[in-house]
């Protein structure tokens, strides 16, 4: 029986969705982080999850638990965000030699639940966050907008639909990503050494010592090609911000826009599909020995508004008042 219900998970309210052999927990007061996605039939835990986690643990480090949605994803150099009609200065929260703003603010905000329900096909929840002068971050970014998420769970897995609408007279810069923390191992009882990751890397986006793009796109090295052919072990070694312009893979003989993580011993795969708006992937794993790895899709490059590259290359977009930008993601198990 498919179900959508409100629950309290260790101190944070969530919507729990159950449908088609999957269970999902959406922590709407922590930026609508999908703090759990599990497939019961194949004993697959998609995202980094700890049943004993107090809410404070996730609140303090939302980027490395579950699947948070980021705006802006990753870094803005010196906290500067240049649009076609303004220049904003976001707080520098990544110090030392980096001196960047990192991860934005949306994944830390309380979102409202607009609807949750279930039928014979699926369970779903719709949420909303309205950014305006009532938000403390408005002093840095006075551009009103509304973010709306719809999470739909079914036998086909979990789909997230995202809408950003500009409510301001100024342009709304668009760069959206997810800091997806995948559990390692993701199959119960599996071995870390059996995990392989396949990424549709076309060109490597070179980064400098501050993890900012040099604006050079490089041919793939032998290291990079391990992602393409699916032989990359995404743990037990350090993957430190490997960033790529994305192409497509193949799944069941058909083009597939996304990444695939496989447990070689069982043949169970996690498929992470994204809409065409996501044009880049960055791979990071917190040194490789902490029980998770992060394949992070982004609609635009790191620091995209500040680059001299054309939007057709960087992926950066702007929308005017009344316009809406949409994108989507989809997670499912394959054998």
On the CB side of 148, CA atoms within 13 Å amount to 11
pTM: 0.97
pLDDT grade for 104, boundaries at 50, 70 and 90: very high
DSSP notation for 200-263: -EEEEEEE-TTS-EEEEEE---HHHHHHHTT-B--SSS--EEEEEEE--EEETTEEE-EEEEEE
- Dump pLDDT digits (tens) for 234-283: 999 999 999 999 999 999 999 999 999 999 999 999 999 999 999 999 99
CA distance 50 to 67: 14
CB of 90 within 8 A of CB of 205?
A: no
Please, what is the average pLDDT of the chain?
98
Q: How confident is the model at residue 96 (pLDDT cuts 50, 70, 90)?
A: confident
Q: Answer whether residue 60 shows pLDDT above 90.
A: yes
Dist CA 235 CA 293 (whole Å): 7
């Amino acid at each position: 029986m498919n179900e959508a219900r409100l629950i309290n998970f260790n101190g944070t309210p969530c919507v729990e969705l159950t449908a088609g052999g999957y269970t999902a927990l959406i922590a709407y007061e922590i930026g609508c982080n999908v703090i759990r996605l599990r497939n019961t039939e194949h004993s697959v835990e998609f995202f980094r999850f700890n049943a004993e986690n107090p809410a404070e643990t996730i609140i303090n480090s939302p980027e490395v638990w579950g699947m948070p949605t980021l705006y802006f994803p990753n870094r803005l150099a010196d906290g500067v965000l240049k649009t076609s009609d303004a220049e904003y200065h976001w707080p520098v929260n990544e110090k030392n030699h980096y001196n960047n703003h990192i991860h934005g603010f949306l994944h830390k905000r309380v979102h409202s639940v607009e609807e949750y329900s279930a039928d014979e096909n699926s369970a779903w929840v719709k949420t909303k966050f309205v950014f305006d002068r009532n938000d403390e971050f408005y002093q840095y970014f006075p551009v009103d907008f509304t973010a709306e998420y719809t999470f739909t769970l079914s036998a086909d897995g979990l789909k997230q639909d995202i809408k950003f609408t500009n409510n301001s007279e100024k342009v709304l810069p668009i760069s959206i990503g997810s800091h997806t923390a995948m559990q390692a191992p993701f199959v119960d009882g599996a071995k870390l050494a059996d995990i392989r990751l396949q990424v549709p890397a076309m060109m490597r986006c070179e980064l400098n010592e501050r993890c900012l793009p040099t604006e050079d796109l490089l041919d793939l090295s032998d290291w990079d090609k391990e992602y393409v052919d699916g032989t990359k072990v995404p743990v037990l070694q350090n993957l430190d911000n490997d960033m790529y312009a994305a192409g497509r893979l193949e799944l069941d003989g058909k083009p597939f826009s996304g990444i695939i993580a496989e447990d070689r011993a069982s043949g169970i795969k996690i498929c992470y599909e994204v809409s065409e708006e996501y044009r880049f992937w960055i791979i990071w794993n917190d040194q490789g020995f902490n029980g998770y790895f992060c394949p992070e899709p982004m609609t635009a490059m790191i620091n995209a508004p500040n680059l001299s590259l054309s939007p057709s290359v960087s992926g950066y977009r702007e929308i005017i008042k009344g316009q809406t930008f949409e994108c989507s993601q989809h997670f499912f198990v394959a054998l």
